[in-house]
Amino acid sequence: MISGKKEARQGTCNRIIKVNHAGEFGAINIYRAQIIAARLLMPGLRTQLEEFLSHERRHLATFADVLRARGIPRCRSFWLCGIGGFALGLVSSLFGRPGIMACTAAVETVVTEHLVEQLRFLESAGDWQAAQAVRSIVADEEDHKAVGVSQGQQSWVFKPLGAVVAMATSSVIWLGMML
């Protein structure tokens, strides 16, 4: 009975890593789409977005390493996150710089809140490897959020677009935890 409970907790720890791995692929594709749009319409934003993209690639590799070490496959939501992320990136780009920043702020607000919850769970379960992987991305995500908020919040589009993006992000995390 006790070992069954322990197994269930470990299953949740593994699922958290799978969902984060898929989520990072989603983030990569948001920035990929936004960089394509920025290249055409907002060249001044490109450097910033490429820097964010490089962080997301590193986050993906961090979670991929944990999955590989444990011999567990990626989440079934992986491609959904990628395609959904690309679509969010394109749609947000239609609103220019404020749209891109609203998207970043909304995604990262949901993500950073989620990371805190995940850390609490992983530490209580004693999964130090997974906790360390999560901890290693927190500062980057906080930073992305701060840039998004400071550069987007003055625009009318910030709240409505942010609400849609936040809902999409929460839904995909929820779905990933269910799959």
Smallest gap from Cβ 1 to Fe ion, in A, equals 38
CA–CA distance, 63 with 4 (Å, rounded to integer): 25
Smallest gap from Cβ 149 to Fe ion, in A, equals 13
Q: Is 59 or 161 the residue whose CB approaches Fe ion more closely?
A: 59
Q: Is 7 or 50 the residue whose CB approaches Fe ion more closely?
A: 50
Q: Residues in the site for Fe ion, rule: CB under 5 A?
A: 24, 27, 56, 59, 141, 144
Q: Which residue is nearest to Fe ion (CB)?
A: 59
Smallest gap from Cβ 157 to Fe ion, in A, equals 20
Q: How far does the chain reach from its first CA to its final CA, in angstroms?
A: 24
Q: Is 9 or 135 the residue whose CB approaches Fe ion more closely?
A: 135
